[in-house]
């Protein structure tokens, strides 16, 4: 093999592959070498390299993967290969290529294979949901899609339509959704094991399209805003996966679904709304809509007094500026942050802890409401300011983690590791890890 690799000048850099016809006597048609880089070969690196190889072999009907033969390394190779085997098809067209049959050299416990398959399926589901065009995916059809995925599972589903959203006092979701012909929804997923060891509440931002509302985005900034429901997709897919794995942690997921559109019935800057639980918010920028729907979700989650609240949202452009497209911004209580950091260390996903400076709270003061949703003209620390806003709606003493995934939700450049161009499904495996550990 080494000689064969030399003969094709395989240098072995990260995210590089070399393909070569198999030498006589081998029962495969071609051999693909995938680069591992020059640093220490870790399970994380193997996961990425296996995934990159799988992404490059989109036409192969069968793969034999021989990158590791046991333990955590093999587990990572299996995960990476599955993550890289997802194919995006053109909307409404049949898939041109079935997923490959994959064989691995070495031995893994059945439970480990099962976990890898379920985790990869969750990531695939997020990618598929996020990729759906926003004229096909709106709050109501998001509910339909997730309801279909939950068929046959033990998940209990409850859905509030726009009337119920208003009646329940979910003023944030109502205000963001009221300008659209596609009315808002709150979708609640409950996974209740027989003897729960713990209760985790999840909140996901599900803006199926973010035009900015009356604070309309510029044309170029609006492109890509179908991705604004990624948080809800991540929480739905990881809750379904946790139930498929039969974990012992109870999960309640709040998916805050709305389409943010301008119209005669849209929210205006200076409107004052009441979030679930009674706090009032002056809307100063209708494009800071994510924190409004998340505020309702966090209040609902807090009322359950769970052991942990995790929220995830494509919340701020500032998170992309600060951390780029590979790191999620992580904020929250010390306990919540540590929990996510621990989980991300096992999945290899990239998170970076950020502060929630209390002095920023003054920027959100309002003369007519308890808090404003933005400070017009303020450009500094936008990711942190959004986190400081959300903190107001988290119950005292509840461990809480907030993930701003505006960067990693979408890979706007070319494929790297197991991550294709477009919707990534990033952080789904980390949430699942928290729900199953």
Query: Which residue from 290, 297, 382, 387 is in contact with Zn ion, where contact means CB under 5 A?
Result: 290
Tokens of 163: 């009337």
In the range 186-225, which residues lie near Zn ion by CB under 5 A? 207, 210
Which residues are paired to 273 by β-bridges?
281
Task: Cite the DSSP H helix spans in 105-229.
Answer: 110-131, 139-149, 162-167, 171-177, 219-222
Among 316, 333, 347, 433, binds ligand BES (CB under 6 A): 316
- Contact by Cβ (8 Å): 79, 120: yes
284/434 with CB nearer ligand BES? 284
Residues that bind Mn ion (CB under 5 A): 210, 287, 289
Residue 272 near residue 221, CB atoms below 8 Å: no
Interface residue with ligand BES, options 79, 228, 259, 296 (CB under 6 A): 228
Query: Looking at beta carbons, which pairs linking 159-168 to residues 24 or more positions away fall under 8 Å?
Result: 159/185, 159/186, 159/187, 159/188, 160/185, 160/186, 160/187, 160/188, 161/185, 168/276
Reading the block at residue 186, the tokens are 């709150």
Instruction: For the CB of residue 383, give the shortest distance to ligand BES in the complex, in Å.
Output: 8
Q: Which of 45, 291, 350, 429 is catalytic?
A: 291
Residue 198 catalytic?
Answer: no
Q: Which of 288, 343, 390, 394 binds ligand BES (CB under 6 A)?
A: 288
Q: How far apart are alpha carbons 229 and 205 in whole angstroms?
A: 6
Estimate to the nearest angstrom the gap between the alpha carbon of 200 and the chain centroid.
Answer: 17
User: Which one of 26-34, 164-172, 245-253, 312-320 is the stretch in contact with ligand BES (CB under 6 A)?
Assistant: 312-320
Half-sphere exposure of 429 (CA within 13 A, CB side): 27
Query: What's the min distance (Å) between Cβ of 61 and Mn ion?
Result: 43
Comparing CB distances to Mn ion, the nearer of 199 and 217 is 217
> Residue from 252, 314, 347, 428 that binds ligand BES (CB under 6 A)?
314
For the question of residue 217 being annotated catalytic, the response is: yes
Among the listed residues 33, 28, 37, 41, the one whose alpha carbon sits nearest the alpha carbon of residue 7 = 33
228 contributes a contact to Zn ion by CB under 5 A = yes
Cβ neighbours of residue 74 under 8 Å, at least 6 residues apart?
68, 104, 106, 107, 108
Distance CA 426, CA 295 (A): 23
Q: Which residues contact 117 (CB under 8 A, 6 or more apart)?
A: 82
Phi/psi of residue 87, nearest 5 degrees: -125, 135
Pick 128 or 287: Cβ nearer Mn ion: 287
Comparison of 35 and 206: residue with beta carbon closer to Mn ion: 206
Classified as helix, coil or strand, 358 is helix
Closer residue to ligand BES, CB minimum distance, 12 or 317: 317
Nearest to 174 by CA among 235, 278, 301, 260: 260
**Near ligand BES by CB under 6 A: residue from 15, 287, 311, 339:** 287
Which region holds residue 188: left if phi is over 0, alpha if psi is between -120 and 50, else beta? Answer: beta
Stretch of 101-109, 155-163, 176-184, 282-290 lying at the interface with ligand BES (CB under 6 A): 282-290
Do residues 87 and 99 touch, judged by C-beta distance below 8 A? yes
Of 79 and 271, CB closest to ligand BES? 271
48 or 311: CB nearest Zn ion: 311
Size of the site for ligand BES (CB under 6 A): 16
Q: Which residues inside 374-393 make contact with ligand BES, applying CB under 6 A?
A: 374, 382
Binding span for ligand BES by CB under 6 A among 57-65, 111-119, 313-321, 348-356: 313-321
Between residues 35 and 206, which has the closer beta carbon with respect to Zn ion? 206
Shortest reach from residue 394's CB to ligand BES, in Å: 19
In whole angstroms, how close is the CB of 162 to ligand BES at the nearest point? 20
- Do the Cβ atoms of 360 and 392 come closer than 8 Å? no
Residue 290 near ligand BES by CB under 6 A: yes
> Which among 87, 217, 279, 326 is annotated as catalytic?
217
**Choosing among Mn ion, ligand BES, Zn ion, none, which partner's interface includes residue 119 (Cβ < 5 to 8 Å by kind)?**
none
- Hey, which residues between 157 and 216 contact ligand BES (CB under 6 A)? 210
Per CB under 5 A, 179 contacts Zn ion: no
Closest approach of Zn ion to the CB of residue 397, in Å: 29
Does 128 help bind ligand BES (rule: CB under 6 A)?
Answer: no
Report yes or no: 79 and 119 within 8 Å, Cβ to Cβ.
yes
Q: Give the bridge partners for 32, in sequence order.
A: 19
Q: Which residues are catalytic?
A: 217, 291
Interaction site with ligand BES (CB under 6 A)? 210, 228, 285, 287-290, 314-318, 320, 374, 382, 406
């Amino acid at each position: 093999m080494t000689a064969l690799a030399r003969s094709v000048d395989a240098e072995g850099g990260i995210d590089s592959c070399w393909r070569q016809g198999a030498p006589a006597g081998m029962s495969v048609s071609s051999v693909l070498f995938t680069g591992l880089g020059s640093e220490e070969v870790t399970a994380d690196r193997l996961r990425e390299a296996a995934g990159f190889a799988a992404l490059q072999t989109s036409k192969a009907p069968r793969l034999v993967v021989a990158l590791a033969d046991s333990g955590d390394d093999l587990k990572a190779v299996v995960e990476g290969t599955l993550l890289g085997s997802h194919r995006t098809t053109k909307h409404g067209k049949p898939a041109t290529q079935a997923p490959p049959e994959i064989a691995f050299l070495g031995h893994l416990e059945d439970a480990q294979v099962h976990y890898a398959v379920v985790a990869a399926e969750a990531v695939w589901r997020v990618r598929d949901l996020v990729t759906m065009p926003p004229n096909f995916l709106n709050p109501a059809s998001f509910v339909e899609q997730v309801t279909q995925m939950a068929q046959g599972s033990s998940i209990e589903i409850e859905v509030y339509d726009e009337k119920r959203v208003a009646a329940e006092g979910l003023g944030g979701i109502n205000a963001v959704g009221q300008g659209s012909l596609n009315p808002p929804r709150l979708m609640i997923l409950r996974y209740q094991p027989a003897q729960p060891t713990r209760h985790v509440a999840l909140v996901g931002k599900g803006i199926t399209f973010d035009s900015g509302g009356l604070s309309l985005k510029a044309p170029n900034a609006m492109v890509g805003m179908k991705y604004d429901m990624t948080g809800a997709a991540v929480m739905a897919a990881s809750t379904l996966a946790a139930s498929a794995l039969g974990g012992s942690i109870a999960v309640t997921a709040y998916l805050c679904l709305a389409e943010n559109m301008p119209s005669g019935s849209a929210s205006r800057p200076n409107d004052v709304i009441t979030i679930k639980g009674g706090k009032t918010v002056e809307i100063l920028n209708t494009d800071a809509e994510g924190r409004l729907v998340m505020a309702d979700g966090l209040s609902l989650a807090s009322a359950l007094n769970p052991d942990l609240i995790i929220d995830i949202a494509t919340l701020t452009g500032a998170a992309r500026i600060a951390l780029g497209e590979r790191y999620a911004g992580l904020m929250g209580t010390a306990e919540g942050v540590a929990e996510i950091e621990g989980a991300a260390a096992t999945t290899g996903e990239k998170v970076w802890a950020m502060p929630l400076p209390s002095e920023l709270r003054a920027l959100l003061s309002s003369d007519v409401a308890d808090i404003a949703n933005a400070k017009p003209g303020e450009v500094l620390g936008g990711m942190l300011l959004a986190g400081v806003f959300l903190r107001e709606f988290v119950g005292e003493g509840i461990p809480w983690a907030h993930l701003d995934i505006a960067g990693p939700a979408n890979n706007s450049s070319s494929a790297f590791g197991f991550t294709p161009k477009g919707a990534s499904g990033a952080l789904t495996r980390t949430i699942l890890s928290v729900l199953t550990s």
